Structure 1
């Protein structure tokens, strides 16, 4: 098969890769139809750290990507809820499927839980085919009324945005600042207004992303002291909650001045080892801080009706559509933030 394959930092190639064999009884093989690049994929692309893995060090080749939809083409004997021909979307990661946590819907607590496309332990879905373990819990048939674009967002970005906004504890009538206006931050703005936010402020260095945030109803600023001052004035001393959706050290540091005493900070961006928050500032402000990796399948149930009824739009985020064969260029454009890129959809079949 053809796939996007990690060959080292900034060296992702469209090349031949061994077809996946179904080696796990609770797995299926999917034929991928569409996939996309996530901001966290850039950590691999840059040779950064994710968890204990240093992608600058020597790595075996593996298929990248954890956001993908497609069709089930082969089923293992321990798969009970799916059939060949089902059109499905995949959660960005999964667990073993057999431990007590997986069996009770707490996959994120599984000791073997991992994301697709992080290593050759579980190859990713920026490929023509992919094996999906723990398929009954990792895959969902694409619901009626959900577009392919929305289905791709449900694999990670939309669920993660919902998780992050939930973690702020935002209540109707409260104010929120979103730091980092990639797809997750922009989706967070839409979700915050659905929760009844009275004011949403948005911070990002890229004008196109700020413009998108303003179309959603936020007041957007470029990073800097002027932005902090304007937000503090407009919110009368600070926002109730901050949703940080970048993971960059400058973005993480910017959250503390924005939030009022007794407020909340929510972090979902993957930080590098040198990113930290001063505990004394958190203590003296009496802040609640939450962070984590979204348990994606657990977020689907509340999100899908919002999409089906049109209350949640989740539209306009795919600024580019390309073929998988052009994946190396897609990574370059996405990394360079060229052409006002927000998110790139790649067609596989």
Structure 2
């Protein structure tokens, strides 16, 4: 089968013919109908993560936002069947550890990261293997397409889990979103759907316009104000109740913390770059003084996908509205390169394999 392989960091991925996967006894193989292209793929392609012992190995098939149709199952699989249309979370659990048993499979003690480690080849390929398929593969309701689910990817589900489950955003809250790439725009749409008022922050006109279309009440161009946190506190009459760093730079992380109202909650979603190497200084004394929470969030438990899929089926959420480009497998390297200069907007999805 055709697959894109990471042969050298920062160099174009190599389109190779490799053996198709066979299912483990607990696994399933799906034909990939669509797969999102994510900034996390860009981090992997750049070789980031060495500072956290999390660098993706060379020889890896990247791609971690797939949806498709089951074509083979292992002999221990009882729930997922050949012909099922499924979504595949990137944060794969084993279904048996204490975290999985308590509904937190996104942080499984013995889990896999699809597309980021040798034991879990990714979905920039014609087929992908899903381990522990009865636990991880999520059946799709009628009316939800593979492209819709590829738009969910890791970005949309991460934003949904962060805002709905971790920060528990409610109607009437002010939510600030720092960085309006795909992850940030997902946060804008979700926060609005949850009943919050939203401030979207970026340095580019196009994503700020998209944020407005997706439900942002206020936009802030960070190149046009001297003090982003002060601007947000002014526009929200005291500060955001919840603020999200969707970019992962030291500046956006600090801005997110400093724009909060008393007893506000910061949620860190963006991964840091080589400049930060996983470390950001924060105003700890002020956070303590004003009872500020700092949360991390990663993916979403497979057991909670139904909440999101139900909102999609009812039309309350529309991740496909964030899709700005549909490309073929051999165009992925160019699209990753465009991310280096922040030349992408919204979600880009592979639909031709």
Scaled by the length of structure 2, the TM-score of the pair is 0.90
Secondary structure of 1:137's match? helix
Shift, 1:76, TM fit:
0.2
Aligned counterpart, 1:291: 296
**1:37 matches 2:37:** yes
Residue 323 (str. 1) matches residue 322 (str. 2): no
Residue by residue, what CA displacement relative to the aligned partner does 1:30-80 show, whole Å, maximum 9, x if unpaired? Answer: 12121111121111122211741235xxx3301001101112111101111
Q: For residues 178 and 2 of structure 1, do their structure 2 counterparts lie closer, same or farther at Cα, with a shift above 3 Å needed?
A: same
Report the Cα offset of residue 103 of structure 1: 4.8
Q: Call closer, same or farther: CA 1:237–1:109 in 2, change over 3 Å.
A: closer
Unaligned 5+ segments in structure 2 are none
TM-fit CA distance, 1:27: 0.5
Which secondary structure state, in structure 1, belongs to the residue aligned with residue 321 of structure 2?
A: coil
Q: Output aligned runs, 1:18-97, within 5 Å.
A: 18-22=18-22, 24-49=24-49, 51-54=52-55, 59-97=57-95
Structure 1 residue matching 2:257: 3-state secondary structure: helix
1:107-152 CA-to-partner distances (Å, cap 9, x unmatched) read: 2343221211112221111111111101112112221121333211
Alpha-carbon contact 2:23-2:29 (below 8 Å) kept: no
Distance 2:100 2:132 in 1: 9
C-alpha contact 1:20 1:131 (8 A) present in aligned 2: no
1:135 aligns to 2:133 (yes or no): yes
Which of 326, 346, 350 is the aligned partner of 1:346? 350
Cα distance, 1:153 vs. partner? 2.8
For structure 1, the residue ranges without an aligned partner over 5 or more in a row are: none
Q: How does 1:10-25 map to 2 (within 5 A)?
A: 10-22=10-22, 24-25=24-25
Quick check: 2:177–2:199 contact (8 Å CA) kept in 1?
Answer: yes
**Distance change in 2, residues 1:316/1:106 (3 Å):** closer
Q: CA deviation at 1:231?
A: 1.9
Q: Secondary structure at 2:68's aligned position in 1?
A: strand
Moved over 6 A (4+): none
Q: Matches of 2:19 and 2:100 in 1, distance apart?
A: 27
The number of equivalent residue pairs is 344
Give 1:335 shift.
Answer: 3.1
Deviations 1:261-300 (A, max 9, x none): 2111111222332334332221112101211213341331
Counterpart contact for 1:159–1:296, Cα < 8 Å: no
- Mapped contact 2:91–2:107 kept (Cα < 8 A): no
Return the alpha-carbon distance in structure 1 between the equivalents of residues 153 and 102 of structure 2.
20
1:283 match: secondary structure? helix
Q: Is the 8 A contact 2:175 2:199 kept in 1?
A: yes
Question: If the length of structure 1 is used for normalisation, what is the TM-score?
Answer: 0.91
